Structure 1
Amino acid sequence: MLGRYFFDKTERGIDFVWMQHDREKILEGRHLLTEASEEGDADALCFLSRTYMGAQYVWQYSGLDEDDDRAEKLLRESIQRGSACGVLIAMRCGVLTLYERRSMPFASLKEAWNIVYKKAEAGHPFCQYIIGNTYFWWDIFEIEGTKPVQKYQTMENAELAMAQLAEPWFERAAAGGLESAVNNWYALYDGTNGYPENKAQQLEIARRGAEAGFPVWMYNYGWDLDHNGCYSEAHKYLQRAADMGQASAWIILGNQYLNGNGVPEDRAAALRCYENGARSGLTDAQYMTALLYYQGKGVQKDSAKVFYWAQRAVVEGEDKEAYVLLGHVLLRGEGTQKDEKKGLDLLLTAQKHDVQEYEKKGRYLFSQEIRGILCGDLGDVYADGIVVNQDYEKAIAYYDVVAGWDSYAQAQRARFKKSFFSRKWTRR
C-alpha cells in the first residue's frame, strides 16, 4: 500500500527506527523494512541498509547489530532498483562508484536529487535531512556539476551559502521528529561549517532537541548545563534521558549524587546510577561502580562486586584505573580467588600508564586515591617478596611516593627503619 511518501511498510519502518527511541519499536521497524525490501521496494532497501551501518546512523542504544558488508550490499541494490534516497545516501557513504552511477535508472544525480527534494518539500523529515546533507557536505556541487568558487566567487562565500541552505532543512527535519538532523544543525555553529562559532546558538539548538523529546539531546543539553554549573536544571533533562534509555546520562547523574551537585549528596543513589550505566556496558560507569563498592562509604563494601565490575571495565574498555582495583583484589584474594602474579601484572601495567602520562603531560593519570592503592600494593609486593624477590629499598620507594597523603602507605612505611651501621632498611 502506498503511503504519503513511500510504501506504507517503509514509512512505518522509518518512523519506528529513527523517531521512536524504543528498542522493541526499532526492531519492529527493521522487520518492516525487511519485509518491504523482500516485496521489491527499492527505498526500503536503502533505509534497511542504514540500520546495519552502526551507532553513527541509528540511536546508539537501539540494539541493532552492525554489518558493514550487508549494509553496502543492500545500498547498492537499492540504487540499481531505483531508490533516489539510496543514490544520495550512497554519495555520502562513498559507495556511489562509477558502476552504480551507470546502473542507476536515473539520467543524472540531479534527477535523483529532485525526487528526494519533492518528498522533502512535501514534509518527509528523513528526506529533509538528506537534502540538508547535500548542502552541509557540499555534495550539491557534484550533483549540479558546478564548482564552489565558480558559483559563489570565493570559498568563504560558498561556506556561508551552504550553511544557510542546509540549516532550514535540518530545522524542519528536527521539528518533524528526526533526531539525527539536530546533530548537523548543531555542527553548523562549531566554527568550521560556514557560520562563525556560536556557543549560545549551539546551546539553543541543544535545548530545542531536548524539548523535542530526543534522548540524545536531553543528554547533550543536560551535559552542557551541568558543565556550566546549572546542576538542578541539568538533572531534570539527564533523568528524563536516562529513563528513556540514554545510558550515558547515568554517569553524570551518578556524579551529581556523589558530589551533591543539584541534588542532595547521596552515595547510595550515586551507586544505583553508576550500576545502571555499568549494566549498559559503559566503562566509566563500571569503574565507578567498582570504586564505590571498594570504598564502602555510604554503601556496603563488597569485594566480589569490586572484582566483577573492575574486571568488566578492564576487559570491555581497558579502563586504566580499573587495572589498579582489579590488580588489588587479585593480589590479595579479596572477593575472588587469589592470583598474585596476575594481580602484580595488572598493577605494573597501570604504573606504566601512570608514568607515561606524567612524562608526556607533566601530570599523573590517576587520582591520589588510586595512586595510593597502586603504590601501597607495589610496596607490599617488594616488602613481603610476593612473586618477586624481597627488596625493602624498592618497597620504601613505593611507599614514599604516596606517604604524604595515604595513611596506609604511612603505616606500612613505619614498619621499617634504617640500620645505624649499614644504613640499610630493616623491619622494626
Structure 2
Amino acid sequence: MGRFFSEAVERALKYIYYDLRAQRGQEGFRLLEQAVQDGDADACCLLARCLYGPEYTWPGHNFPVDEQAGDELMRRSVLEGSAIGTLLSLRCGVMNRQLAQAMPLSLQEAFDTVLDKAEHGEPLCQMIIGNSYYWGDFPEIQGKTREDFDSDDAVQSYLRENYAKCEDWLWRSLRSGISTGGVNLANFYREGKAGLISPRPEKAIEVYRYGAERGYPSYFFYYANELYDQGKKGEAFEFYRRAAEAGEPRAFFWAGYSYELGEGVPKDNTQATQYYQQALSAPIQEKVNPANRMGMCYYDGRGVERDYAKAFQLLKWAEDHGGPAMLYYLGACYANGQGTRQDYAKAFTYLDKVNWDCPHAFYLLGKMYCNGLGVPMDIAKGVEYLQKAGDYVEVKEELRHYKKTLFGKWVRR
C-alpha cells in the first residue's frame, strides 16, 4: 500500500496529475485499468475522470473519451466505498437519490475521510476539498437547508464563509504539485461569488505566474495568454514556446501564430507551419484556427510547398466546423478552380462579403462582373472593383479590355 491510496493508484496519480512534464499519462491510465480489474474503488473513480474528457485531466495525455463508461465506473466507486469517488460523484452528475440510498458512506463521512488525507498533505484530496467549497457542495455534504438558519443574512454569512475556504485548500493543492488545483482557484479570483465575494482578477494572474514558475505545462500557456492580452508579445511567445516544448497542445497554435505574424519573435513561416501541423494533430477540439492558418499557408506557399488541394480541404473543413470563413481564400479557390471545381456563383458568395481592403478579392470581383461570371454582367461595377484592386499586372491587363464612351458608359473594347 501507498501512503494514502494503493501503490498502483499513487503511481498513477503521479503520472496523470503531479508530473506532467514526464508525459507518462498513458502509463498512469494503464495502471488505473489494472487496479480497476483488481477491485480498487479509488481507481474506478480516477479512471472515470480520465474518461470524462480533457476538462478533467490535462489534454496533453490524450486519453480516450467515454462518458458512459466513466459514469459506470464512478457509480461503482461510490458503491464500493471510495471516499473520493463519493465526493466527486457530486461533480459529474451521477449522484442521484437511488445511488445516495445505496452508498455505504454518507457524504459527511466521505468528506471527513478525504479531509484527513488532505490535512496530511495529499494533493488530490486537497483539491477535492477545495472544489467542494468552490462548487458549493458543502450544504449538501453537511445536510444544511434553509430551515437551519434564522435569517437570510445568516444564510449569506454561512455561504460566504464556506465559499471562501476554497482559496486556502486550492492553494495548498497547487503548492503540493497538482496543477489542476489552480484552475478553479484562478476562476475564483477572476469571477468571485455573486453577491458574496468580489472578484480579484489580479490574483488570478498570480496563480498563473506561480504555476509557470513551477514548470507546469498548462500554466506556461495560461500565463502566456495573460501576457499576450497585456501586449507583452515577446514574453508571451517565450511562454508559448516553453508550453509547446513541454507538450501543452493548446500552445501549438499560438506559438505558430506568433511566428507567422512576427509577434514577439522574428517572422518564420516554416516554424509557423510546423507548429500549426502539431496543433492539427494534437488531442484538442480547437482545430479550426490552425486549419485556417495552415490552409492559407498552403494556398500562398508560405512555409510549405504550395498545394491548392490541401489548402481548400483545410479551409473548407474549418468553415464547416464552425470556424470563420476565410472569404478571399475560399472565394479564390472557387473562382480559379484551385483545389475544387470551378464555381463562380459560390466564389461570389464569399468574395462579396469581403469588407476590407483586399486587392486580390477586388480583382476577382471586377473580373467576374465585367465578364458575367457567376453574377449578371455589369462592366461599370466590374471596372470600379478593378480600379480599387491596385496597380499590378493582372489588373492592368484586365482593364485594357474596357473603355469609357463619350457618354461616360464603360464598355468592352
CA distance in 1, matches of 2:258, 2:23: 31
Residue 426 of structure 1 aligns to a residue whose secondary structure is: strand
Amino acid at match of 2:325: E
Structure 1 contact 392–425 (Cα < 8 Å) conserved: no
Is 1:76 aligned with 2:75? yes
User: 1:82 and 1:270, CA in 2 relative to 1: closer, same or farther beyond 3 A?
Assistant: same
Structure 1 contact 257–269 (Cα < 8 Å) conserved: yes
CA distance in 1, matches of 2:133, 2:382: 59
1:157: Cα distance to partner?
3.5
Q: 2:376 aligns with which of 391, 398, 407?
A: 391
* Normalised TM-score (structure 1): 0.83
Is 1:94 aligned with 2:97? no
Which residues of structure 1 form unaligned runs of 5+?
A: 356-363
Q: What is aligned with 1:291? A: 296
Q: What is aligned with 1:426? A: 411
Q: What is aligned with 2:24? A: 25
Is 1:15 aligned with 2:14? yes
Amino acid at match of 1:247: P
Structure 1 contact 23–63 (Cα < 8 Å) conserved: no
Q: What is aligned with 1:115? A: 113
CA distance in 2, matches of 1:103, 1:401: 73
User: 1:179 and 1:396, CA in 2 relative to 1: closer, same or farther beyond 3 A?
Assistant: farther
Seq. identity, %: 29
Structure 2 contact 224–235 (Cα < 8 Å) conserved: yes
Aligned length: 404
1:139: Cα distance to partner?
0.6
1:50: Cα distance to partner?
0.8
CA distance in 2, matches of 1:314, 1:399: 31
Greater CA deviation, 209-218 or 256-265?
A: 256-265
CA distance in 2, matches of 1:156, 1:407: 69
Q: What is aligned with 1:144? A: 142
1:279: Cα distance to partner?
3.8
Which residues of structure 2 form unaligned runs of 5+?
A: none
Q: What is aligned with 2:219? A: 217
* Matches for 1:165-204 after TM superposition, within 5 Å: 165-193=165-193, 194-204=196-206
CA distance in 2, matches of 1:318, 1:396: 36
User: 1:272 and 1:132, CA in 2 relative to 1: closer, same or farther beyond 3 A?
Assistant: same
Structure 2 contact 209–223 (Cα < 8 Å) conserved: yes
Amino acid at match of 1:241: A
User: 1:398 and 1:257, CA in 2 relative to 1: closer, same or farther beyond 3 A?
Assistant: farther
1:287: Cα distance to partner?
1.3
Instruction: State the Cα deviation string for residues 393-415 of structure 1 (Å, max 9, x = none).
Output: 2x754774685465579655664
Structure 2 contact 167–185 (Cα < 8 Å) conserved: yes
1:299: Cα distance to partner?
6.8
1:145: Cα distance to partner?
1.5
Q: 1:307 aligns with which of 304, 312, 325?
A: 312
Residue 321 of structure 1 aligns to a residue whose secondary structure is: coil
CA distance in 2, matches of 1:219, 1:103: 43
Structure 1 contact 238–249 (Cα < 8 Å) conserved: yes
CA distance in 1, matches of 2:64, 2:279: 20
Residue 132 of structure 1 aligns to a residue whose secondary structure is: helix
Greater CA deviation, 375-384 or 227-236?
A: 375-384
Is 1:339 aligned with 2:341? yes
User: 1:171 and 1:406, CA in 2 relative to 1: closer, same or farther beyond 3 A?
Assistant: farther
Is 1:325 aligned with 2:343? no
CA distance in 2, matches of 1:182, 1:147: 30
Greater CA deviation, 306-315 or 60-69?
A: 306-315
Residue 215 of structure 2 aligns to a residue whose secondary structure is: coil
* Matches for 1:133-282 after TM superposition, within 5 Å: 133-147=131-145, 150=149, 153-154=153-154, 157-193=157-193, 194-280=196-282, 282=287
* Matches for 1:53-68 after TM superposition, within 5 Å: 53-68=52-67
Structure 2 contact 362–389 (Cα < 8 Å) conserved: no
* Matches for 1:397-408 after TM superposition, within 5 Å: 397=381, 400=384, 404=388
Structure 2 contact 370–381 (Cα < 8 Å) conserved: no
Structure 1 contact 399–410 (Cα < 8 Å) conserved: no
User: 1:233 and 1:113, CA in 2 relative to 1: closer, same or farther beyond 3 A?
Assistant: same
CA distance in 2, matches of 1:375, 1:197: 48
CA distance in 2, matches of 1:402, 1:164: 64
1:255: Cα distance to partner?
3.3
Residue 59 of structure 2 aligns to a residue whose secondary structure is: coil
Structure 1 contact 129–173 (Cα < 8 Å) conserved: yes
* Normalised TM-score (structure 2): 0.85
Structure 1 contact 16–25 (Cα < 8 Å) conserved: yes
User: 1:351 and 1:265, CA in 2 relative to 1: closer, same or farther beyond 3 A?
Assistant: closer
Amino acid at match of 1:237: F
Residue 411 of structure 2 aligns to a residue whose secondary structure is: strand
Q: What is aligned with 1:360? A: none
Q: What is aligned with 1:130? A: 128
1:17: Cα distance to partner?
1.9
Q: More relative contact order in 1 or in 2 (CA 8 Å, sep 6+)?
A: 2
Structure 1 contact 163–188 (Cα < 8 Å) conserved: no
Q: What is aligned with 1:358? A: none
Structure 1 contact 328–347 (Cα < 8 Å) conserved: no
Residue 197 of structure 1 aligns to a residue whose secondary structure is: coil
Instruction: State the Cα deviation string for residues 325-378 of structure 1 (Å, max 9, x = none).
Output: 2442244233x3x5023x743652x468x49xxxxxxxx5xx544xx5555445
User: 1:406 and 1:251, CA in 2 relative to 1: closer, same or farther beyond 3 A?
Assistant: farther
Amino acid at match of 1:12: R
Amino acid at match of 1:233: E
Amino acid at match of 1:307: F
User: 1:299 and 1:70, CA in 2 relative to 1: closer, same or farther beyond 3 A?
Assistant: closer
